[in-house]
Amino acid sequence: MAKTKKEISWDLSPAPESTGHATIDKRYDLFIDGKFVPPSTKKYFKTINPATEESLSEIALAGEKDVDKAVKAARKAYDTTWSKISAAERGKYIYRIARLIQERAREFAVIESLDGGKPIRESRDVDVPLAAAHFFYHAGWADKLDYAFANSSPTSIGVVGQIIPWNFPLLMAAWKLAPALACGNTVVLKPAETTSLTALKLAELIRDAGLPDGVVNIITGAGETGKALVNHDDVDKIAFTGSTEVGKMIRRSLAGTSTRLTLELGGKAANIVFEDAAIDQAVEGIVNGIYFNQGHVCCAGSRLFVEENVANEVIRKLKHRMNQLIVGDPMDKNTDVGAINSKGQLHTIEKYLKAGEKDGFEMYQSQVAVPKKGYWCRPTLFTNVSQSSVISKEEIFGPVLAMQTFRTIDEVIDKANNTPYGLSAGVWTDKGSKIFNLTSRLKAGIVWANTFNKFDPTSPFGGYKESGFGREGGIHGLSAYLNLQG
């Protein structure tokens, strides 16, 4: 008797998040002096959903005149309101922003995933709650700054220009705005051109919070808009998060001026696994380190160092785990790896994949299906890469991991530190004394031991060397927005 064998599918059923609740206008203007105003350029650019390549909305392109208008509004607000009200009142406004974000969390998460391509689970569980937490944490600092900086008489700086990247659009806006406002400054913020939507929704929310006009101005556009903001002579401080290349350009153009500057730039973090680590947990940490947010993370653990005698085990388990990662629709709650943020970034990543293959390294990509439309890159692992190869030296900003092995602690520390970057690092071992040996010798601003890619508003973030200077978050992050005596 012939038996028909029924195929059982173990795939998860689709679990799409509804987008109905989120409203996206057809067109967004610039948020200047408390109002949405059309740009002097009369130009708008499209923002698309990278998972479908469909247009979501049109965003105003701010020109030099608009930048000037925004800076003037910020200056006026600084002089007439924001520096005049009491610190406690300032804090109350910021608390309001935190609460309003929590209330509208779902809407923000949906728009963040639509516009940027990141999995909804991440927008919902990481980006939006952390953004709210940043405002909430910093709100409380507004009237307590004298305790943070004893004998230093902290005072606000004035008008701050802030330029943020596309990998964590709302969260970066929160990282920048919350401490700046708490310390008594007014702001002109420019989001990245591919991910302006949540910043503009935040502008609506800030208006709803009743902040005095001009305290926060949000102008949209690309590099030229950012340049105009950096070079505006009535901006007292620039805070930039983005590529090391652009960071250096900004540093150069501000040379000889009194404009203060903090830079949070690229990274090429070492994630180090010792033989005595809990290997399964370490594999989870490796995955979280490099495939979180499609690897669009400046502190991504993109260089993996595994102690030689456990390398085969780690590779086997890692490949197995890579194949469990669901790549696809960012709006699906089961998705682990979403869409690459833009066509341009996908090209950059593909260029590095080719370079890695050309150098003769073994490339492994997960065997998962990806949608036809949209921008996708499967989780990728290169093994046996050399320390001097392009893929282990340069920041790829995608889900691409370059692995090397090591034998001794000194060897791995040398290799890990042998980079112009110094943003983050990871260490996996069960031995406490080894952890502290490593964490004290690794030249990086954030060291995760037996964990990776964790963020918190109370925890300072920022790099050594060419990963930038200044910190964001925590008590140390406040000093970036204050003048201190002594």
Tell me which of 19, 152, 386, 483 binds another protein, using CB under 8 A. 152
390/449 with CB nearer another protein = 449
Q: How many of the chain's residues bind another protein (CB under 8 A)?
A: 46
Tell me which of 30, 265, 286, 331 binds another protein, using CB under 8 A. 265
Stretch of 8-16, 225-233, 235-243, 454-462 contacting another protein, by CB under 8 A: 454-462
Tell me which of 28, 44, 461, 481 binds another protein, using CB under 8 A. 461
Closest CA to 399 of 320, 338, 342: 338
399/468 with CB nearer another protein = 468
Cα–Cα distance between 299 and 289 in angstroms, integer?
8
Shortest Å distance, C-beta 430 to another protein: 12
354/436 with CB nearer another protein = 436
Write the interaction track for another protein spanning residues 85-114; mark x where CB under 8 A is met and - where it is not. ------------------------------
454 lies in the site for another protein, by CB under 8 A: yes
73 lies in the site for another protein, by CB under 8 A: no
355/475 with CB nearer another protein = 475
Q: What angle do CA 17, 18, 23 make, to 5 degrees?
A: 125
13/258 with CB nearer another protein = 258
DSSP secondary structure, 30-74, as one string: EEETTEEE--TT--EEEEEETTTTEEEEEEE---HHHHHHHHHHH
Cα–Cα distance between 294 and 433 in angstroms, integer?
33
Shortest Å distance, C-beta 438 to another protein: 10
Residue that is written with structure tokens 């998962």 in the block: 368
187/412 with CB nearer another protein = 412
456 lies in the site for another protein, by CB under 8 A: yes
Tell me which of 101, 111, 128, 133 binds another protein, using CB under 8 A. 133
The C-alpha torsion from 387 through 389 and 394 to 400, rounded to 10°, is -90
DSSP secondary structure, 387-424, as one string: TTSHHHHS---SSEEEEEEESSHHHHHHHHH-SS--SE
Tokens of 277: 């680590």
Shortest Å distance, C-beta 269 to another protein: 13
199/425 with CB nearer another protein = 425
Tell me which of 43, 251, 343, 434 binds another protein, using CB under 8 A. 251
Cα–Cα distance between 27 and 7 in angstroms, integer?
48
Tokens of 20: 């109905």
Shortest Å distance, C-beta 236 to another protein: 16
Stretch of 223-231, 253-261, 290-298, 310-318 contacting another protein, by CB under 8 A: 253-261
Shortest Å distance, C-beta 33 to another protein: 32
Write the interaction track for another protein spanning residues 462-481; mark x where CB under 8 A is met and - where it is not. x-xxxxxx-x--xxx-----
46 lies in the site for another protein, by CB under 8 A: no
Residues whose CB is less than 8 angstroms from the CB of residue 77 and which lie 6 or more positions away in sequence, other chains included: 33, 186, 212, 213, 214, 215
Stretch of 95-103, 242-250, 344-352, 394-402 contacting another protein, by CB under 8 A: 242-250
* Interface positions, 392-431, toward another protein (CB under 8 A): 420, 422
- Residues annotated catalytic, as ranges: 264, 298
Residue 384 near residue 401 (C-beta atoms within 8 A): no
**R_g of the chain computed on alpha carbons:** 23
20/256 with CB nearer another protein = 256
Tell me which of 50, 165, 226, 460 binds another protein, using CB under 8 A. 460
> Dihedrals φ, ψ of 406, to 5°?
-150, 165
Residue 102 near residue 170 (C-beta atoms within 8 A): no
Tell me which of 158, 161, 221, 247 binds another protein, using CB under 8 A. 247
Tell me which of 445, 480, 481, 482 binds another protein, using CB under 8 A. 445
Shortest Å distance, C-beta 440 to another protein: 8
DSSP secondary structure, 136-195, as one string: HHHHHHTTTHHHHSTTS--EE--EEEEE--SSSHHHHHHHHHHHHHHTT-EEEEE--TT-
374 lies in the site for another protein, by CB under 8 A: no
Rounded to a whole number of angstroms, the distance between the first and last alpha carbons of the chain is: 91
Crossing angle of the two packed helices 169-182 and 105-116, in degrees rounded to 10: 130
Cα–Cα distance between 134 and 179 in angstroms, integer?
8
Q: What angle do CA 245, 251, 257 make, to 5 degrees?
A: 165
123/453 with CB nearer another protein = 453
Residue 34 near residue 222 (C-beta atoms within 8 A): no
Cα–Cα distance between 247 and 240 in angstroms, integer?
7
Which residues contribute to the site for another protein (CB under 8 A)?
Answer: 133, 152, 244, 247-249, 251-252, 254-256, 263, 265, 420, 422, 435, 439-440, 443-451, 454, 456, 458-462, 464-469, 471, 474-476, 484, 486
